[in-house]
Structure 1
Amino acid sequence: MTWVQQRWLIFCIASGVFASVMSTSMLAIAFPDLVQFFSISYETLQYRNILFFTFFAVGLPFFGKITDRIGARPMYLTGLSLFVLSCLMCSVMTRWYGFLFFQSTQAVADAMIVPAIVTLIRHHFPDERVGWAFGWFSATLSLATIVGPATGGLILKFYEWHALFLVLAFCALISLTLGWIRIPAHHARENPSEDASIPWISSLSLLAGIIFLQMFLLESDNIVMLVTALLALGGFCYGEARHTPLLPGGFYRNARFLNACIRVFLIFMVINTVSLYGPGYLRDVHHWPTDRIGWVILVESAIGMLLANLAGRAADRYPLLAMGGGMGMSLFGIGLLLWSAFGIGSIWIFLLIYLIIGIGHTLTMPAQNKIALLSVSRRQTGNYMGLFQMIQFITGAFAAGVFGSRVEAGGAGKIDLLGFRWTMWICVGLLVGAFVTVLVDRYLSKRRTDQSDATALAVDKSVEGEG
């Protein structure tokens, strides 16, 4: 492919999650409006986050496994079609439970799209350009997060929250059209002899287990939720051992992939916590209007788009250095956000905070994705990366379940300053843990290099002996 064709293809592929990313940032600003419209508490609102992120996360390895069998392009187009339908239904909902149902449907659609995108990148770009492709993929996502908060803030200023979903459906329809026209077809299956069974038992058991576990974390005195979660997780273990497994076989022996999974969980716990509660913190504690919040958050996305190409190139050349430097910037930004919770409310401080966090995320993500992607076999890309992305996005449900009731001021539907402060301290600890995994990755890389050198030396000695 030519230089122009490569950029056009990665833009078309990445546009599949454009509306989804917009949805996350738009609804984060609209959370207080949802609380008021449906007459619920901020804690009850977290059931939306729990269901959305759990359906999305558990669906990733499930649809990743199916993507490896039927092909990435059909899965991509099906997911986008379902996304358009679910957004249109959300736009007309007036009942809380109906809204929850179609938000869960939207999450299923997202779970179809994401592993298909990663598989398309693996199939259409060489290994030495994977970091570059993920860099431009991140740029497209940054563009979505630029458009999302600003657009969402303006819409909420003049219209009700229902209008958000009409905009999302329109954007997804454009992505669907681009994908149908521009993304080339690829052979459907890398391994035609693979068993075509679908892991229903494991998937449904894991889905139920995580949902009930999050409900227990949200209502810590409800022992029934905990028992149900443990039974469902037991069903997942049974499905993995006795029926078609959801998880890729032998993944626990891939040390580098496991380390990447731990790291992405820690990093995205922080990212999702700030995304979920940062806008509400600015509205409820600092009393900012929605349009100002949208423009401040826009800074994070703008810097992500501007630096995406540089971050992708850094990921191809120095992945561990780029990832470590990015996490250092994120830690500094979270530290400043914690400092703001002690009475600092200047708009310039928050502009600096979101600028620094944006630089950190932009540097970290392409390197993180490349390390995980190249640690697995090409024929199991969808299944492995579905698992990786499940761990990445299940943090949204954990962030909602763990922190939802703790950031709220006594069930009043508003963010509590002290609760937000403690949440930021926990985020600092999570990022420090993520730094440790970079050191582990460096050790694993060095050990693999030493083993390769030893193998090469043994071969040379064998050849000399034969000579």
Structure 2
Amino acid sequence: MTMISIQQRILIITIASGVFASVMSTSMLSIAFPDLVRAFTIDYETLQVRNILFFTFFAVGLPFFGKITDRVGPRVIFLTGLALFILSCVMSATMTQWGGFLFFQSTQALADAMIVPATVTLIRHQFPETKMGWAFGWFSATLALATIIGPALGGLILKTYEWTMLFYVLAFCSLISFLFAWIRIPHNESETNRGEKTVIPWFSGLSLGAGMILFQFFMLEPARKIMWLGIALLAIGLFLYSEKHHAPLLPKRFYRNVRFLNACIRVFLLFMVVNTIALYGPSYLRDVHHWPPDKVGWVILIDSVIGVSIASLAGKAADRNPLLTMGTGIGISIIGTALFLWTVFGHSYLWIFLLIYLLSGLGSTLTMPSQNKIAMTSVPKEQTGNYMGLFQMIQFITGAFAAGAFGSFVEGEKTGQISSSGFSLTILISVGLLIGALCTVWFDRHLTKKQAEEKRSSIQPLP
């Protein structure tokens, strides 16, 4: 197997550091949701507008900036995204009006959408296929470290300071990442497609983003469902027209790549569950079980501790047998998620929630390197940014879907608080989604066997 140099180890840590603050922001803000509800005098349903806008801008921006990354190179997009992230965090902290806060949170989402396609493109070009699982394992370990620090640090900050301090901390962390990346990430002209003309798909990106946002409001506001659905379908229609007649946002004929499509379905199902638990789990502990924010942060910490501990091993397992590793991880996640149902009946013992987040962390850590490797190796190398931007769009749009689909009924009769009944129904649906994801692993295994048989038959000598 190819040896990994010290420089490559430093490079993967540098690449991962770019999304360090972004990952921390998700866990920090999930703990701070009750504080945001009080600060802006809103309820949980209104709070979901932030999640809908953030995850939609982030998700739609991924294939958009992925296409630009293939054109100009990942280093430029990576550094630009970090700079914009720093600015948006500082401005979010200064906002006193809900509208201004939403604007700069949307800006932060666009910054994240610039950084993520650049990271996977750098990994694709800097590491051989035989070490790609290893690289994603280290990448996952660095991100897990961010989620270790995020909940604990977020809980401590909220215990001592106002919620605005969270954004100043995030801005400082991103500034360190920016300086580190400026020094360590090399200029590499071979990672660009400068000889090809790339038309920026402005209209496709805007129409798709509008359609997704409007569809979330269709799910969130029952009183105006027909109006939101009609406008959403119109926006999606404009997107489809633009894809056919103008600059396309999505890779051409990507729907013919069966393995890639199966990976897209799987990542949607998996991250619907991941984002649902991330959005509502901390608030469930605070509102239903009456835990203080710092205790919530320390319990969630176990998820990330597992991620850091075994991420490298999970990456190596992904290089050896990605389907078996991924199927095992999903099975463990099913058990961990289902255990939430036990706590709905009033059981708030510390060890139960530690076990839940331990199993969730173990399952996710085993699943993600294999999932990313399978998706990435199924697409053309020269279109890595565009394809993986689409893949990540599907992955992260689940945050908006989770907010829109569950935001209206997870809240109880007491406005601004999570209910046990709504949360239990959410968990039941999540278990069903994970079972669906496990079925896609079986299909992938079947597809792999079929392709292997076709390859063997094609090389048999003719009589």
- TM-score class, shorter-chain normalisation, is over 0.9
Question: Distance between the aligned counterparts of 2:46 and 2:177, measured in 1?
Answer: 33
Which structure 1 residue ranges, 5 or more long, are not aligned? none
The C-alpha deviation readout for 1:147-203, integer Å capped at 9, x for no partner, is 000000000001000000000000000110110000111216554443321111110
Specify the alignment match of 2:221 in structure 1.
219
- For 2:195 and 2:458, locate their aligned partners in 1 and report how far apart those are by CA, in whole Å: 32
Residues 353-387 of structure 1: per-residue CA shift (max 9 Å, x gap)? 10011000000000000000000010000000000
> Which secondary structure does the structure 2 equivalent of 1:405 belong to?
coil
Structure 2 residue aligned with 1:321: 324
Residue 203 of structure 1: which of 176, 193, 205 is its match?
A: 205
Give the match for residue 375 of structure 2: 372
One-letter code aligned to 1:406: F
TM superposition score normalised by structure 1: 0.97
Find the counterpart in structure 2 of residue 291 from structure 1.
Answer: 294
Could you give the per-residue CA deviations for residues 413-456 of structure 1, whole angstroms, max 9, x where no partner exists?
00011000000000010001001100110011111111111121
Distance 1:446 1:129 in 2: 23
* C-alpha distance in structure 2 between counterparts of 1:22 and 1:453, whole Å: 48
1:89 is matched with 91
2:275 aligned with 1:272, yes or no? yes
Q: Distance in 2 between matches of 1:188 and 1:136?
A: 24
Q: Does 2:436 align with 1:430? A: no
1:69 to 56, 68, 71: 71
- Are the aligned partners of 1:202 and 1:240 in contact in 2 as well (CA < 8 Å)? yes
Aligned partner letter, 1:455? S
Q: Equivalent residue of 2:260, what SS?
A: helix
Which of 395, 403, 408 aligns to 2:406? It is 403
Evaluate the alpha carbon distance shift between residue 190 and residue 158 of structure 1 in structure 2; reply closer, same or farther with a 3 A threshold.
Answer: closer
Percentage identity across paired residues of the two chains = 66
Matched, 1:23 2:18: no
Letter in 2 for 1:219: E
Q: Deviations over 1:289-324 (max 9, x none)?
A: 000000000000001000000000000001000000
1:132-143 map, 5 Å: 132-143=134-145
Match of 1:51 in 2: 53
How far apart are 1:20 and its partner, in Å? 0.2
More deviation in 18-27 or 177-186?
177-186
Measured in 2, the distance between the counterparts of 1:298 and 1:338 equals 21
Answering whether residue 313 of structure 2 is matched by residue 310 of structure 1, we say yes
Q: Which residue of 1 aligns with 2:237?
A: 234
Aligned counterpart, 2:39: 37
Task: Please state if 1:110 is matched with 2:112.
Answer: yes
2:333 aligned partner: 330
Q: Match for residue 175 of structure 1? A: 177
Cα-to-partner distance string for 1:8-28 (whole Å, 9 max, x where unaligned): 110000000000000000000
Report how many residues are paired. 460
* Partner Cα separation in structure 2 for residue 176 and residue 193 of structure 1: 28
Amino acid in the other structure paired with 2:61: G
TM-score normalised by L of structure 2: 0.98
| 1:125 and 2:127 aligned | yes
Q: Report if the CA contact (8 A) 2:74-2:191 is conserved.
A: no
Specify the alignment match of 1:256 in structure 2.
259
Whichever residue aligns with residue 321 of structure 2, its letter is: Y
Indicate if the aligned counterparts of 1:90 and 1:165 stay in contact, CA closer than 8 A: yes
Task: Give the distance between the partners of 2:305 and 2:341, measured in 1 at CA.
Answer: 23
Given that 1:72 and 1:188 are in contact with CA atoms closer than 8 Å, whether structure 2 keeps it comes out as no
Question: Structure 2: how far apart are the matches of 1:209 and 1:370?
Answer: 30
Per-residue CA deviations over 1:236-271 (Å, capped at 9, x if unaligned) read: 001001001100001000000000000000000000
User: Secondary structure, in 3 states, of the residue corresponding to 1:91?
Assistant: helix
**Contact map agreement 1:326 1:364 (CA 8 A) in 2:** yes
Match of 1:109, SS state, is helix
Q: Which runs of 5+ in 2 are unaligned?
A: none
Corresponding residue of 1:453: 456
1:165 aligns with 2:167: yes
Mapped contact 1:143–1:301 kept (Cα < 8 A): yes
Q: Which amino acid aligns with 2:272?
A: M
Shift in Å at residue 339 of structure 1? 1.6
Q: 1:213–1:71: structure 2 CA closer, same or farther, 3 Å change rule? A: same
Displacement, 1:5?
1.7
Distance of 1:173 and 1:274 partners within structure 2: 29
Letter in structure 2 aligned against 1:33: D
Cα deviation, 1:377-408, whole Å, max 9, x if unaligned, reads: 10000000000000000000000000001100
The whole-number CA distance in structure 2 between the counterparts of 1:411 and 1:104 is 29
Please provide the CA RMSD for this pair: 1.0
- Shift in Å, 1:221: 2.6
